Amino acid sequence: MRLTIYELGSSLEKLLSTLKKNRENVPLETLRTVYKEPYEALLRQINETASEFVREIVITDIPVNPDASIDAQSDLINQTIDESGLVRQISLCLSHTYNVHKLHIIALELRRQIEVALEPYIAMKNCLVADPENLDADPIIYNTITRKVYENNAWIERDLDLSGKLLIYIKQPKDISQPIMEENTNEQIPENISEYAHQPATADG
Size (the chain), residues: 205
Which one-letter amino acid corresponds to residue 67?
A: D
Residue 194: the pLDDT is: 40
* b/e sequence 141-179, b meaning 16+ C-beta within 10 Å: ebbbbeebbeeeeeeeeeeeeeeebeeeeeeeeeeebee
pLDDT value at 27 more than 50? yes
Q: Which of 16-25, 67-76, 108-117, 174-183 has the lowest mean pLDDT?
A: 174-183
3-state secondary structure of 79: helix
Cα Dmax for the chain: 79
Q: What is the DSSP string of 117-151?
A: HHHHHHGGGEEEEE-TT-TTSPPEEEETTTTEEEE
Report d(CA 91, CA 185) in Å as an integer.
26
Tens-digit pLDDT profile for residues 52-104:
999 999 999 999 999 999 999 999 999 999 999 999 999 999 889 999 999 99
pLDDT of residue 170: 75
Neighbours of 100 (CB within 10 A): 23
pLDDT for the residue 3: 87
pTM over 0.95: no
Confidence of residue 136 (pLDDT cuts 50, 70, 90): confident
Per residue in 107-125, pLDDT (tens digit) is 999 999 999 999 999 999 9
